Amino acid sequence: MTTARQIVLASRPEATPGPEHFRLETVDLPELADGQLEVKVHYLSLDPYMRGRMSDAKSYAEPVPVDGVMEGETVSEVVASKHPDFAPGDLVLWRTGWVDAAVVDGDRVRKVQTYGAPESTALGVLGMPGFTAWAGMKFIGKPQQEETVAVAAASGPVGSMVGQLAQLAGARAVGIAGGEKKCGWVSDGLGFDAAVDHRDPDFYRNLKAACPDGVDVYWENVGGAVWDAVRPRLNLYSRVPVCGLVAQYNTGGFGDHDRLPATMTTVLNKSVLIRGFIQTEFAEHYDEFLAEIGPKVADGSITYREDVTEGLENAPAAFIGLLAGKNFGKLLVKVA
């Protein structure tokens, strides 16, 4: 392969991204140097955090530069190698970005390990989303038997894992999702103890009924109105791992009104632990995660759902849909 297609950030969106903010280009690949690999991308992961990379606002990571390749992790096949640890045909994980081929440093990639599950799971339940859920629950949420764990965006790749981990720990899992179809899968497909539709006009009342003993762990993926409903349900010494705030990504991070006074009052009165985190903080535990969760995925005791879009050129539309909640499961682009 001498060329690659790539999708770059054409301009920074001020609110909701549109097709005009992306551009598809064809570029020449550099010659392979010692220690490098040439890879062909099989699957690209699309994730909510990418919206933050499109902004130049101060954040925990550097933004994608205008005209720069959109950031993203991929499962790729080695097609040529000048690194002793890799051979053509090996499957590897790396942040190649939104491309269909690349030249990468072999010392920076990781071989795919899925315990017999499909290679796509390395970007979902056995990848960054699954590890995010595992690390956040193990080190922050720490669910106990008979506690209640509520999770926002419960049908997504992170939320679905959070609820299953809660049940494995002996806790009740209450999923919050958007729409009857997603809630049905959360309760019937994943086996959560309850599922609540945040689009239902009776959401507040339904959430209260689903959590009669309050909430001990709330996994925050959304923020906004979902947080408004969960906050009064929080119990004494409850824990809130903050993984994402997708409801605020297109509003400059501030939402539709000031939630700080009510939030801080609850933190004080209920001795609530609110802890934001990025999964890379716990990277040293990744092998432990794979060893524990890999066999459970392979034997079906942990389940997952994928939403696959075909073709690199369709990544922008799929990503825009992700921010609007149109995906159902881990969103992937099948590139090769």
Query: Is residue 260 situated within a structural domain?
Result: yes
Alpha carbon distance 267, 111 (integer Å): 42
pLDDT given for residue 57 in this prediction:
83
CB 236 within 8 A of CB 271: yes
Composition of the chain by helix, strand, coil, percent to 5: 35, 25, 40
Structure tokens at 98: 């939104």
Residues 50 and 71 grouped into a single domain: yes
pLDDT given for residue 230 in this prediction:
98
User: Per DSSP, which regions of 203-329 are E strands?
Assistant: 215-219, 234-242, 273-276, 306-310
Q: Residue 290 phi/psi, 5° resolution?
A: -60, -40
The residue type found at 217 is: V
Residues 241 and 266 grouped into a single domain: yes
pLDDT given for residue 59 in this prediction:
80
Residues 141 and 232 grouped into a single domain: yes
Residues 187 and 223 grouped into a single domain: yes
Residues 266 and 218 grouped into a single domain: yes
The residue type found at 97 is: G
CB 195 within 8 A of CB 186: yes
pLDDT given for residue 28 in this prediction:
97
Residues 319 and 264 grouped into a single domain: no
| CA distances (Å), origin 179, targets 61, 73, 175, 203, 317 | 32, 29, 12, 11, 21
> How many domains does one find in the chain?
2
What is the residue-wise DSSP string for 249-274? Answer: TTTTT--SS--HHHHHHHHHHHT-EE
What's 77's domain CATH number? 3.90.180.10
Structure tokens at 145: 């038997």
Residues 117 and 211 grouped into a single domain: no
Question: Within 13 Å of residue 42, how many CA atoms lie on the same side as its CB?
Answer: 18
Give the DSSP letter of residue 69.
Answer: B
User: In the chain, what is the straight-line distance between the N-terminal and C-terminal CA atoms, in Å?
Assistant: 13
From 10, 78, 82, 88, select the one nearest 41 (Cα to Cα).
78
Structure tokens at 219: 């996994």
The residue type found at 4 is: A
Q: What is the dihedral sign for C-alpha 288, 289, 295, 296?
A: positive
What's 218's domain CATH number? 3.40.50.720
The series of mean pLDDT values per 10 residues for the chain, 336 residues long, is 94 94 97 97 96 87 95 97 98 97 96 94 96 98 98 95 98 97 96 97 97 98 94 98 83 73 97 96 96 94 96 98 91 96
Domain that holds residue 229: 128-279
Residues 90 and 180 grouped into a single domain: no
CB 77 within 8 A of CB 35: no
Query: Is residue 289 situated within a structural domain?
Result: no
- Strand duo 330-334 + 110-111: pairing: unpaired
Query: Is residue 199 situated within a structural domain?
Result: yes
